[in-house]
Amino acid sequence: MPNSQTHDIITVFTAAGANAAYFHFAPHPQPNLAILFTAAYLFAGYACAGDLDLVSTEFRRWGPLRFIWLPYQKMVPHRSWISHGLLLGGVVRICYLLAMCALLMWGGLKVYSYFYSPSLNPTAVTAEKWSSLVYLMKARPLETSALIGGFILAGTTHSLSDFTWSWFKRRF
């Protein structure tokens, strides 16, 4: 499979193509949505690619927050249908990242409430923020679709480059 530098080059060059494809195929192409789509594509390509199930460059790019991907590494076998599935891989990483953000928010609020505000209910605040996110996703479906589409397409591109590289190595 390609190394991380090759994956980065593929991400940069395919982001331009993905942006053009967005303008061609989107039912309501708008520049702000294209920016969201491309930003999600680049973020997913650099920081949330299929190789997060290893101690990889993508994993190291998370810096001090890389610990959030340790359970993912333990649960997901490398190059499995979960991590490298064409659509499923990106969906799983989005869901996992959202779940870890909610867990971190809840934990941070729990610590804050313990030391500074005992009357604060971390579970209620986390549920309120989660419902706000769900509301925002319903209120802004085009923006949500652009973000999710860019994220998933970047994971698909990563997987396709791995599959193509492996096929060429076996074939030639």
* Cα 2 from chain centroid (whole Å): 20
Going by C-alpha positions, the residue among 123, 77, 79, 76 that lies closest to residue 95 is 76
- Name the more confident of 116 and 92: 92
Contact 154, 47 (CB under 8 A): no
CA dist., res. 86 & res. 104, Å (int): 28
Q: How many domains does the chain have?
A: 1
CA dist., res. 15 & res. 150, Å (int): 9
* Residue range 20-38, pLDDT digits in tens: 888 888 777 788 888 999 9
CA dist., res. 64 & res. 147, Å (int): 24
Is the pTM of the predicted complex or chain greater than 0.95? no
| Residue 60: domain span | 4-171
* Residue range 81-112, pLDDT digits in tens: 777 778 888 899 999 998 898 888 888 888 88
DSSP state for residue 119 in the 8-state scheme: T
Going by pLDDT thresholds of 50, 70 and 90, the confidence category of residue 155 is confident
> Region 155-164: what's the mean pLDDT?
84
For residue 39, pLDDT over 70 is answered with: yes
CA dist., res. 138 & res. 136, Å (int): 5
